[in-house]
Amino acid sequence: MKPDIEYIEKLARVLADNSLTEISIEDGEQAVTLRKEVIGVPAPIAVQAPVTQTPSVQPAVSEPIKKGRSLTSPMVGTFYSAPSPDAEPFVKIGQMVKEGDVVCIVEAMKLMNEIESEFAGKIVEICVSDGQPVEFGQVLMYVE
């Protein structure tokens, strides 16, 4: 499977715009690592070839419980569950949301970015706490 060049270019922009030195993403079928050298000379961005999984004998391990669809952070920043410290959170566990509903805020570079649900369903888990730093692609919550 050939990697999506547009997706890799977006990751490279995130790397450059957020003063990161490395981003690694793995989705089971492929893995991409972008690395920026910080020595005096800029180094080329390395892209790892897709990982092909070969069957192997492994000890029985219980499968993780399927929690629904994940809502991930589109950027590096700070997670906020409510519009202000004294306000009610945008969503709570068990609450139904529609596609486009604001579910949280990620603050990046002093800008408050409202994060909207990408699909309708019930919030089954909120994976980060208020004020916690989050990474690009980190799961914020699960919707089922």
Residue ranges of the domains in the chain? 1-53, 69-143
Successive 10-residue mean pLDDT values, the chain, 144 residues: 70 73 70 65 54 53 64 94 92 94 92 92 93 93 92
Tokens of 19: 């003063």
CA 50 to chain CA centroid, nearest Å: 20
At the top level of CATH, which class does the domain 69-143 belong to? mainly beta
| pLDDT at 50 (0 to 100) | 58
